[in-house]
Amino acid sequence: MADKPDAASDQKRGNAGELHQQAGGGHPPLTTNQGIPISDNQNSLRATPRGPTLLEDFILREKITHFDHERIPERIVHARGSAAHGFFELTASLAQYTTAKVLTEVGKKTPVFCRFSTVAGGAGSVDTPRDVRGFAVKFYTVEGNWDIVGNNIPVFFIQDALKFPDLIHSVKMEPDRGFPQAASAHDTFWDFISLMPESMHTVMWAMSDRTIPRSLRMIEGFGVNTFRLLDAEGKSTFVKFHWRPKLGLQSTVWDEAVKLAGADPDFHRRDLYEAIDAGDCPEWEFAVQLFSEEDAAKLPFDHLDPTKLIPEELIPLKVIGRMVLDRNPDNFFAETEQVAFCPSNIVPGIDFSNDPLLQGRLFSYLDTQLSRLGSPNFHQIPVNAPKCPFHNLQRDGHMQMGVPKGRVNYEPSSLQADSPRETASGFKSFAQPADDGKKGRIRAESFADHYSQARLFYRSQSDIEQAHMAAALVFELSKVQTEAVRERVVGHLVNIDPALAKRVADGMGMAQLPPAPAPAAPVTDMQPSPALQLIGKMKPILNGRVVGILVDDGSDGAAVESLRKAVEQAGAKVKIVAPKVGGAKLADGKPLAADGQLAGTPSIVFDAVALVLSDEAGKRLAKEAAAVDWVRDAFGHLKAIAADAGAQAVLHAAGVQADPGVLQAGNASGFVEAAKTRQWAREPKLRKLP
């Protein structure tokens, strides 16, 4: 290693030289990508001190060239994502139905990598728009990688993959103006939807609170498509895959989601990262719906239609395992960005169905990875590589990482004793009998009912959720400039539920309901399914939540500590907020550190809030907009509020009215109970919903 530069050398290197430490004391030497040690990372090579930079500076050229090529094409959909490592543990064997070891070896823990994402926005968009969330899991099984590439809703907008480019083109930014970003509230999306009756079921889900989740840790996951399980004799059983969060479902309210986008664009990403970093590892139950060909024939819809779901009341869920996410990625780009999910990645004992959307996905995902990651060798990237041995005769290609040995790169061969061969226990496709139908571009008649399940979903919701769906439709359609599009959508709503159509029409000021289009198949009334509710799946717990406590100089330390203890015992985190980031000096003179500064830590980032203030601080903060908004938003977003006597001035300034969710700070146990749910009874008093 070179001697430490003297002062004259530092001056030549620039001011950075004074602060720069040589490699040593545990720091490895800085090198080029070829391992050549670098002595000066501050200055380019010049002919003279004020002369031109020399082309021979290979260090400069390598560094700039690599920087120029750092970005790869972002995903066309699901571009903005967050991910984590973890494991899947099987708790109940499916050996009766499949040979897949990952589903038959009880107690075995299989490494997984799980990525959550929004659909419509780009990689630089925000976390909290109204949007479907992707839910993709890569299992690194002993028989190869298995990917379940799904969403947080169980149905999709289209029945045939041929329409996927049209769907995404319509929901993305409009091509002539480049906006809106990460939003479906615009003409092109609703124009497409209004002309595609098959989309109406998924639209109902998209307009529900499912698409404005409180946390990625509190969403369900669905494989969407129907798959097959195959036993040792090749017998097939249909299967649908479900993930159910241990923390239960939680959503935001719309005003909260909008404000979160501005206050913390990375709210979901930060929430997931911080929870895992703190050891609060999110967990999901893994469940399946299993049914035979005979069971499928009895269903009042076609299970191969991806715009349909199978209500749990018809085919119950069987919980067979759990997934725990316990480690954040070491590098976002290397793992979260470069991970390549493909529904075609399956293992022996699992197979595909004839779902036409799935059939298109089997091609599209692989094709996308080839384009985005730039090489057929993308499977060699560490996050994509199987953790079991893999051998084949594929060779070469851009960015080949392996060094295959031997002279044989073909099969059959006889020149190399250890060349890979096919195996009788390898993957086998289901021997499905051929249909009697004729080849042609035609949609099955069993796919013709576009409204019955949309009606089922809407009528299964609670009154509160129905009101939110109506409000979401009014908001979205109010952004649509083309009157004919608005009318067509409301016409579809008439077929789903006339009362819903009227609520939406009244909300937009329509003089009368537009005519409903003639359904392609009779609309039927299915038995409501409470399992489709979100509020019904909220758990009365505080686990995984965060409570904010606002303090200032003179606050009662004992009251703060009592609230903190009660909240933490209930399983939630506490964050202290103060007008100054340095915290506050309590009434007893002791300092209390703050986790956030008032103006930069709005109440929208918390699940419930408390205020512990002296009389003087309360009067002062009652004139401070940030404090008033802190309380007003918490009240408007239906959160529990605890406040001591000094904080009453702030509550009064914010227009907070007494209700069961507004409690005295001394009632810590009552506050904890109220914080476990939203104060839904408060909402009709605050805002008029359609």
Active-site residue list: 78, 151
Q: Say if residues 252 and 207 touch (Cβ distance below 8 Å).
A: no
CB under 8 Å to 538, separation ≥6 — which residues? 248, 249, 250, 677
- Rounded to a whole number, what is the largest CA-CA distance in the chain? 90
- Return the ∠ at Cα 115 (arms to 111 and 120), rounded to 5°: 165
Token duo for residue 500: 């819903």
Q: Say if residues 663 and 640 touch (Cβ distance below 8 Å).
A: yes
Q: What residue has token string 């995984």?
A: 544
CA 368/CA 522 separation, integer angstroms: 39
Nearest to 367 by CA among 623, 164, 594, 198: 164
CA 133/CA 116 separation, integer angstroms: 7
3-state secondary structure of 556: coil
Q: Say if residues 331 and 381 touch (Cβ distance below 8 Å).
A: no
Q: Cβ–Cβ contacts within 10 Å for residue 686, how many?
A: 15
CA 227/CA 383 separation, integer angstroms: 25
3-state secondary structure of 418: coil
Sign of CA dihedral 159, 160, 164, 170: negative
Length of the chain in terms of residues written: 690
Token duo for residue 427: 């993957």
CB under 8 Å to 142, separation ≥6 — which residues? 101, 102, 110, 388
Write the Ramachandran bin of 248: left for phi over 0, alpha for psi from -120 to 50, otherwise beta. left
CA 541/CA 543 separation, integer angstroms: 6
Q: Say if residues 681 and 659 touch (Cβ distance below 8 Å).
A: yes
Nearest to 497 by CA among 473, 531, 530: 473
CA 168/CA 181 separation, integer angstroms: 13
Phi, psi of 347 (to 5 degrees): -120, 165
Q: Say if residues 486 and 414 touch (Cβ distance below 8 Å).
A: no
Rounding to the nearest 10 degrees, give the CA dihedral for residues 388, 394, 395, 399: -60
3-state secondary structure of 660: coil
Instruction: Classify residue 213 by its DSSP letter.
Output: B
CA 667/CA 224 separation, integer angstroms: 45
Tell me the CB-side half-sphere exposure of residue 599, using CA atoms within 13 A: 5
